């Protein structure tokens, strides 16, 4: 009888330990999900920040390129006036476009 009682106690302790292990496992899985969720959120935030930064830098580069193109066009017209050449707006535009293309390629 004593052996039966000992086996019953061992079985109860085993079951109690298994329940504790299951509870710990569930707790750790929940913690892991929270960490993954947190990292996912931070990743999305960083991606958005980088996207906005890239967009801002592209816009700044576009404005700089436009200002340079405008400057080239004005410079071309001034040079034409100084040389008293009769250059059409189309020729000036072509010259500015070619010069601007060379400038962009050199960046």
- DSSP string covering 12-27: HHHHHHHHHHHHHHHH
Report whether pLDDT(107) > 70: no
Q: Can you give the pLDDT at residue 106?
A: 74
Residue-wise pLDDT for 57-76, tens only, equals 999 999 999 999 888 888 88
**Cα–Cα distances in Å, from 52 out to 16, 18, 26, 61?**
54, 51, 39, 14
| pTM of the model as a whole | 0.48
pLDDT tens-place string over residues 4-30: 888 889 999 999 999 999 999 999 999
Name the pLDDT band for 100 (thresholds 50, 70, 90).
confident
Contact criterion met (CB below 8 Å) for 100 and 69: yes
Contact 75, 94 (CB under 8 A): no
Q: What is the pLDDT of residue 55?
A: 95
């Amino acid at each position: 009888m004593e052996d039966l009682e000992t086996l019953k106690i061992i079985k109860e302790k085993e079951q109690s330990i298994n329940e504790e292990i299951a509870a710990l496992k569930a707790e750790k899985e929940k913690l892991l999900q929270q960490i993954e969720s947190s990292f996912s959120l931070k990743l999305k935030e960083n991606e958005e920040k980088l996207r906005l930064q890239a967009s801002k830098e592209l816009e700044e580069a576009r404005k700089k390129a436009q200002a340079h193109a405008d400057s080239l066009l004005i410079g071309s017209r001034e040079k034409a006036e100084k040389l008293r050449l009769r250059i059409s707006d189309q020729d000036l535009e072509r010259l500015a476009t070619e010069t601007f293309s060379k400038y962009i390629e050199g960046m």
